[in-house]
A and B are shown apart, each in its own frame.
Chain A
């Protein structure tokens, strides 16, 4: 069996091998990537013949080579980046959520924990009635409506717990402590950059046949950016 490096080499009219498309001859790349030289002799190490285009022609061809190449690459990259950035183009609405009934929040000035349950869209899935967070509702003695704190820590988004024994809110992650009115226990010394986030509360009356009306508590469940001294919605 003859293993010959020359097999398959097409010769052009002048006896020169075609510059592209020959993978059998040894390709030698010079430092100028636009000039590819062929070694069609069998002895390795021998100086190959070079094909150097004329300068003007070279400039024009270089320009179009770069342009065509760039467009060929930028197309797919552009489509990819567009998809990648898609979350930035989407605005989410903060939902108004019914968290419970007024009868569930006695006017004892104590925080009462409620899950926030609403329909939830996650990319291609729609989840009916998902827990998407939690709030603490506090109704002061004699107050008509409660106030609502989101349980999401304004520091790094962990879920704040309430310690009834100590009468304070505590975050389990970086040990932020908040008073029962949502202010930081140590003020600006606290790890959390701002007080607990208050949410807007509204009451809605539902008529019940042959009975007292039922009053629902609705909360505008805004998701605020963490780690900032000011409240800014994430939407």
Chain B
């Protein structure tokens, strides 16, 4: 058996000469002995091999198209066994590679290892570095999430400013005028084919030349020469293990890599930033006003890269070497400063809920006033980031629920979700008049919807028992959140004050305590009955439990109340409801604040079923049969109404 194995190895060697290759590879001389400082190049190779391995496995599950990219990454991250770890390693090893590249590069320049005869190999190293940066740029877009989409978008817009052929370059990279399927297929081909292929080719030459010229050794040598195997290999392997441990640690800590909401071309992600190692470029651009941008984006970076390429020749003189080292440190120091500045600019407000007053108290009035614009920009950034995280959590929860991802992609989940679309649509169509805020417990995520000068009721919790009770509360009905908003015709000298006056009269000041209690109890039941008309999903259980009280409330509304209150009237004296469908000209109360009632109301509040001639300024959003003539389409209307009613899908984890 042993003989057979040895024969087989002999045969392989005779046909391939592999023993010679192995000997050459492993028994290279390491002058002065194995050193820890020689490990960086090897760790880079190991990092790249890790990217190849994890990349190929990611490839087996990844599908580049606008309807499947985010979806397949979601599947890798949340469904596939170990998918999060695979993705996490790929994500963090890419970042480790940048750090290792920087170390390797500094070491080479510091040691003057670019000098003859290693100039060519130094240039190859620079090319490899540019390829790695290209890999990380292209990889950032592939998950097709908001973060990668909008950050890359800025990048390709900048590419369009390339002197001479900018427009054509952008078009070729993007695969057309705007982002779409072809952007993904092109970026993927670059990321998984062209760039790694080029990297392998250049790396092979880089290593071959490295072997040809040997390690750059400092004289006098630290010890006797050894061979690469096993001493240096051991050190390299330990270092590689260290890098992997750090990367796996990060991947485990973050449970993979972040996946923000699916890319939405129609909703800009204001907190889009490039990866941290490109932040300095991002920040650098802020220094260049309009016309000068080409300097910040092309000329200066171009000159810097040009100097890097010339380093071996500049470094032929001693002064030149000192220049090279200084240049590199100024470059890295500058990049570090810009990075810190970028992060500080974005986070100076502290939290998304910070106010300028707090900021002023903390840093003094003068400093605060100086930074007012920057503070506002930071606040916007933090808010956008928080909102985006919130949206991402929601989409991921929907995708993981029974709902699942439809064939049209996860963006359909976003567009069909009242919870996500409601606030956006409300802001666009309703918030200029209406408020939407729970004053006792304001939702920081909905701070955009607080209208400081509303001219219509506050719609938070509309149709709920609490809301109905407030509408029937003498203290609140005429208040700013209900019928007493500025300019309201329902209070004071207005033309239609009957409702507010009726409620307030029912609780007249000279009402004996026993009577008052009776009226209060009646109104409580009416509030329950009125609210039950809305059939709010969140209240379904309570409505079912309180059927008796609701029935009593209905009876009171249909006339029973008249016997209890001094005015001798009840709801149906003005409102059509229940047994009195044809009475009164005020809004119909059957199905009050139910989905259909609200949709019909928003369509046309001037309809006879609602306010008719006494409608206040509420526009008719969809009064026409022909949708072409309407402001709001059916779907948008439904989304707004569903959101106001709290009627959205609550995911159940399968």
Q: Give B362-396 interface residues, CB cut-off 8 Å to A.
A: 373, 376-377, 380-381, 384
Please determine whether A188 and B381 come into contact, CB atoms closer than 8 angstroms. Answer: no
**Taking the complex as formed, is B66 at the interface, i.e. its CB lies under 8 A from any CB of chain A?**
yes
- Give the contact stretch, choosing among A9-17, A48-56, A62-70, A125-133: A125-133
- Tell me the bound Cα distance from A133 to B373 in angstroms: 27
**Taking the complex as formed, is B471 at the interface, i.e. its CB lies under 8 A from any CB of chain A?**
no
- Tell me the bound Cα distance from A111 to B270 in angstroms: 19
Please determine whether A92 and B176 come into contact, CB atoms closer than 8 angstroms. Answer: yes
Asked, given contacts A104-B631, A157-B157, whether A123 binds B266 with beta carbons under 8 Å apart, the answer is: no
Residues of chain B with a CB closer than 8 A to A161's CB: 270, 380
Please determine whether B158 and A101 come into contact, CB atoms closer than 8 angstroms. Answer: no
Q: Closest CB-CB distance, A93 to chain B, in whole Å?
A: 11
**Taking the complex as formed, is A194 at the interface, i.e. its CB lies under 8 A from any CB of chain B?**
yes
**Taking the complex as formed, is B355 at the interface, i.e. its CB lies under 8 A from any CB of chain A?**
no
Residues of chain A with a CB closer than 8 A to B11's CB: 3
Residue of B nearest to A133 (CB): B266
Please determine whether B268 and A172 come into contact, CB atoms closer than 8 angstroms. Answer: yes
Please determine whether A87 and B176 come into contact, CB atoms closer than 8 angstroms. Answer: yes
- Tell me the bound Cα distance from A200 to B362 in angstroms: 48
- Tell me the bound Cα distance from A189 to B290 in angstroms: 7
- Tell me the bound Cα distance from A187 to B628 in angstroms: 41
Q: Give A70-103 interface residues, CB cut-off 8 Å to B.
A: 84-85, 87-88, 90, 92, 100-101, 103
Asked, given contacts A157-B157, A172-B381, A172-B384, whether A206 binds B176 with beta carbons under 8 Å apart, the answer is: no
Please determine whether B373 and A175 come into contact, CB atoms closer than 8 angstroms. Answer: yes
Please determine whether B428 and A113 come into contact, CB atoms closer than 8 angstroms. Answer: yes
What is the number of residues of chain B that contact chain A, defined by CB distance less than 8 Å?
53
**Taking the complex as formed, is B160 at the interface, i.e. its CB lies under 8 A from any CB of chain A?**
yes
**Taking the complex as formed, is B255 at the interface, i.e. its CB lies under 8 A from any CB of chain A?**
no
Residue of A nearest to B179 (CB): A122
Please determine whether A227 and B160 come into contact, CB atoms closer than 8 angstroms. Answer: yes
Please determine whether B428 and A123 come into contact, CB atoms closer than 8 angstroms. Answer: no
Please determine whether A191 and B288 come into contact, CB atoms closer than 8 angstroms. Answer: yes
Asked, given contacts A158-B154, A188-B289, whether A172 binds B270 with beta carbons under 8 Å apart, the answer is: yes
Residues of chain A with a CB closer than 8 A to B289's CB: 186, 188-191, 193
Q: Give B240-291 interface residues, CB cut-off 8 Å to A.
A: 265-268, 270-272, 285-286, 288-291
Q: Closest CB-CB distance, B142 to chain A, in whole Å?
A: 17
> Could you mark each residue 207-235 of chain A with 1 if its beta carbon is under 8 Å from any beta carbon of chain B, else 0?
01000001000000001011111001011
Of A134, A186, A188, which is within 8 A of B266 by CB? A134
Residues of chain A with a CB closer than 8 A to B270's CB: 158-159, 161, 172-173
Most A-side CB within 10 Å, residue of B157, B175, B178: B157
Residue of B nearest to A116 (CB): B266
Please determine whether A88 and B168 come into contact, CB atoms closer than 8 angstroms. Answer: yes
Q: Closest CB-CB distance, A57 to chain B, in whole Å?
A: 33
Q: Closest CB-CB distance, A119 to chain B, in whole Å?
A: 14
Q: Closest CB-CB distance, A226 to chain B, in whole Å?
A: 5
- Tell me the bound Cα distance from A157 to B179 in angstroms: 12
Q: Give B286-341 interface residues, CB cut-off 8 Å to A.
A: 286, 288-291, 293
Q: Closest CB-CB distance, A110 to chain B, in whole Å?
A: 9
Asked, given contacts A87-B174, A226-B157, whether A172 binds B631 with beta carbons under 8 Å apart, the answer is: no
Residue of A nearest to B168 (CB): A88
> Could you mark each residue 539-555 of chain B with 1 if its beta carbon is under 8 Å from any beta carbon of chain A, else 0?
00000000000000000
Please determine whether B158 and A170 come into contact, CB atoms closer than 8 angstroms. Answer: no
Q: Closest CB-CB distance, A17 to chain B, in whole Å?
A: 17
- Tell me the bound Cα distance from A188 to B160 in angstroms: 20
Please determine whether B428 and A223 come into contact, CB atoms closer than 8 angstroms. Answer: no
Please determine whether B177 and A227 come into contact, CB atoms closer than 8 angstroms. Answer: no
**Taking the complex as formed, is A18 at the interface, i.e. its CB lies under 8 A from any CB of chain B?**
no
Residues of chain A with a CB closer than 8 A to B376's CB: 163
**Taking the complex as formed, is A203 at the interface, i.e. its CB lies under 8 A from any CB of chain B?**
no
Please determine whether B290 and A155 come into contact, CB atoms closer than 8 angstroms. Answer: yes
Q: Closest CB-CB distance, A52 to chain B, in whole Å?
A: 25
Asked, given contacts A88-B172, A170-B380, whether A208 binds B629 with beta carbons under 8 Å apart, the answer is: yes
Most A-side CB within 10 Å, residue of B172, B180, B268: B268
**Taking the complex as formed, is B150 at the interface, i.e. its CB lies under 8 A from any CB of chain A?**
yes
- Tell me the bound Cα distance from A159 to B397 in angstroms: 27
Of A132, A208, A223, A235, which is within 8 A of B624 by CB? A208
Q: Closest CB-CB distance, A61 to chain B, in whole Å?
A: 29
Of A113, A131, A191, which is within 8 A of B290 by CB? A191
Please determine whether A229 and B290 come into contact, CB atoms closer than 8 angstroms. Answer: yes
- Tell me the bound Cα distance from A5 to B13 in angstroms: 12
**Taking the complex as formed, is B181 at the interface, i.e. its CB lies under 8 A from any CB of chain A?**
yes
- Tell me the bound Cα distance from A3 to B167 in angstroms: 63
Asked, given contacts A87-B176, A87-B182, A100-B631, whether A229 binds B158 with beta carbons under 8 Å apart, the answer is: no
**Taking the complex as formed, is A174 at the interface, i.e. its CB lies under 8 A from any CB of chain B?**
yes
**Taking the complex as formed, is A124 at the interface, i.e. its CB lies under 8 A from any CB of chain B?**
yes
**Taking the complex as formed, is B237 at the interface, i.e. its CB lies under 8 A from any CB of chain A?**
no
Please determine whether B290 and A223 come into contact, CB atoms closer than 8 angstroms. Answer: no
Asked, given contacts A206-B628, A228-B161, whether A234 binds B167 with beta carbons under 8 Å apart, the answer is: yes
Residues of chain B with a CB closer than 8 A to A186's CB: 289
Please determine whether A87 and B286 come into contact, CB atoms closer than 8 angstroms. Answer: no
Residue of A nearest to B294 (CB): A227
Of B161, B175, B178, B268, which is within 8 A of A227 by CB? B161
- Tell me the bound Cα distance from A122 to B174 in angstroms: 12
- The 7 tightest CB contacts between A and B, nearest first, are A159-B268, A193-B290, A131-B266, A172-B270, A122-B180, A227-B161, A123-B181
B residues near A (Cβ < 8 Å) are: 7, 10-11, 14-15, 66-67, 150, 153-154, 157-158, 160-161, 166-168, 171-172, 174-178, 180-182, 265-268, 270-272, 285-286, 288-291, 293, 373, 376-377, 380-381, 384, 428, 619, 624, 628-629, 631
Contact sample, A vs B, 25 pairs, CB 8 Å cutoff: A3-B10, A87-B174, A87-B176, A101-B629, A115-B266, A122-B66, A122-B180, A131-B266, A156-B157, A157-B157, A158-B153, A158-B154, A172-B377, A172-B380, A173-B272, A174-B285, A190-B289, A191-B285, A193-B290, A193-B291, A226-B157, A227-B157, A232-B167, A234-B177, A235-B177
Known pairs A3-B11, A189-B289 / 5 extra A-B pairs, C-beta < 8 Å = A157-B153, A159-B268, A188-B290, A190-B289, A235-B177
A residues near B (Cβ < 8 Å) are: 1, 3, 5, 24, 84-85, 87-88, 90, 92, 100-101, 103-104, 113, 115, 122-125, 130-134, 155-159, 161, 163, 170, 172-175, 177, 184, 186, 188-194, 206, 208, 214, 223, 225-229, 232, 234-235
